[in-house]
Structure 1
Amino acid sequence: MPALPDHHHTPAPPQGPPWLVVQDLALRYGHKAVVEDLSFSLPRGAIACLLGPSGCGKTSVLRAIAGFEPITAGRITLDARLLSEPGRVLPPEQRRIGMVFQDYALFPHLTVAQNIGFGLRGRADAPQRVQEMLDTVGLAHAGSRYPHELSGGQQQRVALARALAPQPAVLLLDEPFSNLDVALRERLAGEVRDILQATQTTAVLVTHDQHEAFAMADVIGVLADGRLQQWDTAYALYHQPANRRVANFVGQGAFVPATVLDAHQLQLQLGPVTGLAATFPTDDTLPFAAGTRVDVLLRPDDVIHDDASPIQARVVHKAFKGAEFLYTLALADGTEVLSTVPSHHDHAIGESIGIRLDLSHVVAFAAEAAHTA
């Protein structure tokens, strides 16, 4: 039997007294429900992400926290202070909330320093604070330049510095990297995370890009159809998805049909395997009765290239990733799975290779038609 997963070492969401609390939130535009029964809390200094496809309601939640949208039900509090409830909305300028917009919204006629100092007008320490923020975002010598003289990544850092300068209680970031090229996004996400941690800023990011979410957030909420599907760490979303929708949206993989033999065994087309249902990490048994048909989630890192294995799969597609290939492999019954393989194993389309499965944990859901995650 493969080893059961060690859940004691699974990363946990950030802990601490709640700072930002969204409780039973509902949002409607006319008769259309945009968000229903959404609840989460965030301790001070933590970074959260609302992750989901376009139209899932994540930007509406951000706008409600900022005070730009009234809420239909529930309440939003910050540092135990009520921000929103039905019929009562504290104005945005009284919320101590900073915001970084998708298009940065920099003033083109103002210098970088003047942009950063825009929210500090009237403060005696404004020049000192502007210089501190220029240093923090790595633009110490760019204060006299104008936005059009900067790269997209530099403009993004100016927008961040401007939002952080007044020392907001929470910083909201609305798809802040969407205007940047793919190669730059993940690197800048890591840089922004470092800046937020250095300034001990509580932040909420919304994005449809899971790589940005993984690079930035301590805790991620996956939204679909206006409902929060799971609020957890990136690790848990990937390895312990709460439902099939999370499994489909986070990471890559494929569902393989199987039959439950008993509390510890599944029968795949590849033979009997044992394991723990990772969606029920406190339980040492599979949460299905014997004979139940289920779909088992196989991630690319669960399907391992092994020339000595009797299990054969045919290469139907390959994508070179530099250090590795992502292979799409067809099993004997036609089921397709994904596999990450070190890039010196360069196999041709149509070639058969040996594989084995790492089933040290099993993620299984009630059976539906098999499909790729």
Structure 2
Amino acid sequence: MVRPYLYCMFGKTNTTTGSSKSNSPSTLTIENLCKSFDGTNVVNNVSFEIPDGHIFTLLGPSGGGKTTTLRMIAGFEKPDSGTISIGGKIASNESIFLSPENRKVGMVFQDYALFPHLNVYKNVSFGVQSNTQNFSGIDSILETIGIASLKHRMPHQLSGGQQQRVALARALAPNPSIIALDEPFSNLDTELRQHVRNEIRQILKNANVTTIFVTHDQDEAFAMSDTVGIMLENNLVQTGTPHEIYTAPESIEVARFLGDINVLEGTANSSIGECELGKVLLSETFGDHQKVNIVIRPESIRLNNDSNESVMARIISVEFRGTYKTVELALPSGQLLTSIMGIHIDATVGAEVPVSVNSTVSAFPI
């Protein structure tokens, strides 16, 4: 028996090549999407748009509404309100709700959901119309994804990475407008995860298919995405390129979610901030004498710097991490800082060292 939620991929669709697409636009537009369960909001007024051929990632902690948003796009959940448009056509609003099989969304599930009794070829071709012309594209897809030699194997004979590629091939086979990936790398070990995600990104880019990807892993989101949307507490709080999101967070909550930060109170005058570390260049402009929290990433703190803006700090601890080390520092006030640096930079516990900031930093009004 086919799982009901697999039908989003298995409507009456045709395929002729591994990289061909429908002539209709495949941009995904979400407007004011809301969803609640038992009176609890799980998606709150979410809006975004994915340009044709782009990879968009919803990044956030577990329970933040990412997967529910994905399920509403695929048609597995009905929104309470809002509009979903796929390929320029409304898939869901207050009067329209297309079933999953009519949305042309190819889904790659966290557990891959391969049919255990079908070989690779039959898994991939399951949702393709049964005629010679349509099936001719399956071999092309298998070749493109690099699993042509595995076409006669059963799922239990495949590695995790191979199963991942079969699931993607099956999602691409019906020539969807959108590919949706729900935490697709969570079952892979660390080394394989990095290798597979690079492969998957290249496959999706070569296919020029619009993609929405859900993850709680920052490294995956940054490596895979053209655009990242940060979801915190069921709200989409910021969108931008991975570089924009990381270097110019729009709130201290986003900055903290994306990694370790050092927070120092200070004042801002235009684009110059001043704190216990001296003067720093800010990513935004403020009014005169604005009280702010200045947010500095550990990699932006430099030791043994001859800059006039450096201050003295004492090294509290050093942790070796293989390709880098983290150093905890104490400023004269007792404020603790964390710095990340190369393993060849000298750092001895108890030493007094000059410390400065070597990049533009963010600040938020107090």
Class of the TM-score when normalised by the shorter of the 2 chains? 0.7 to 0.9
Q: Which residue of 1 is the match for residue 141 of structure 2?
A: 133
Q: Which residue of 1 is the match for residue 275 of structure 2?
A: 268
Q: How far apart are the structure 2 equivalents of 1:40 and 1:114?
A: 36
How many angstroms does 1:132 deviate by?
1.4
- Corresponding residue SS for 1:256: strand
Q: Which residue of 2 is the match for residue 181 of structure 1?
A: 189
Q: How far apart are the structure 1 equivalents of 2:66 and 2:352?
A: 43
Residue 197 of structure 1 pairs with residue 179 of structure 2: no
Contact 1:70 1:86 survives alignment (8 Å): no
Q: Which residue of 2 is the match for residue 155 of structure 1?
A: 163
Q: Which residue of 1 is the match for residue 362 of structure 2?
A: 363
Q: Which residue of 1 is the match for residue 266 of structure 2?
A: 258
Change over 3 Å in CA distance of 1:349–1:43 after alignment to 2: same
Which range moved further: 131-140 or 93-102?
Answer: 131-140
- Corresponding residue SS for 1:41: strand
Q: TM-score, normalised by structure 1?
A: 0.86
Equivalent of 1:145 in 147, 153, 156: 153
Residue 313 of structure 1 pairs with residue 313 of structure 2: yes
- Corresponding residue SS for 2:132: coil
Q: Which structure 2 residue ranges, 5 or more long, are not aligned? A: 1-24
- The letter for the 2-side match of 1:225 is E
Q: Which residue of 2 is the match for residue 304 of structure 1?
A: 302
- The letter for the 2-side match of 1:329 is L
Contact 2:273 2:294 survives alignment (8 Å): no
How many angstroms does 1:257 deviate by?
1.4
Q: How far apart are the structure 2 equivalents of 1:349 and 1:42?
A: 49
Contact 1:47 1:218 survives alignment (8 Å): yes
Q: How many residues align?
A: 340
How many angstroms does 1:348 deviate by?
4.1
User: 1:287-345: CA deviations, max 9, x gaps?
Assistant: 2441x321111112211122546633333344434332232323222222232211112
- Corresponding residue SS for 2:142: helix
Q: Which structure 1 residue ranges, 5 or more long, are not aligned? A: 1-16, 281-285, 368-373
User: 1:113-169: CA deviations, max 9, x gaps?
Assistant: 111111114132354322212212212211111111111111111111111111110
1:197-276 map, 5 Å? 197-260=205-268, 262-271=269-278, 273-276=279-282
- The letter for the 2-side match of 1:364 is A
Q: How far apart are the structure 1 equivalents of 2:137 and 2:315?
A: 58
Q: How far apart are the structure 1 equivalents of 2:66 and 2:318?
A: 34
Residue 90 of structure 1 pairs with residue 88 of structure 2: no
Contact 1:23 1:76 survives alignment (8 Å): yes
Q: How far apart are the structure 2 equivalents of 1:66 and 1:355?
A: 51
Change over 3 Å in CA distance of 1:138–1:263 after alignment to 2: same
Q: How far apart are the structure 2 equivalents of 1:84 and 1:163?
A: 21
Q: Which residue of 2 is the match for residue 339 of structure 1?
A: 339
Residue 323 of structure 1 pairs with residue 323 of structure 2: yes
Contact 2:277 2:357 survives alignment (8 Å): no
Q: How far apart are the structure 2 equivalents of 1:149 and 1:317?
A: 48
- Corresponding residue SS for 2:34: strand
Contact 1:316 1:328 survives alignment (8 Å): yes
- The letter for the 2-side match of 1:252 is D
User: 1:46-93: CA deviations, max 9, x gaps?
Assistant: 100000001110101000000011111110001211101135310000
Contact 2:277 2:355 survives alignment (8 Å): no
User: 1:262-308: CA deviations, max 9, x gaps?
Assistant: 3344331123x1523x2x4xxxxx32441x32111111221112254
Change over 3 Å in CA distance of 1:252–1:146 after alignment to 2: same
Q: Alpha carbon RMSD of aligned pairs, Å?
A: 2.0
Q: How far apart are the structure 2 equivalents of 1:248 and 1:42?
A: 26
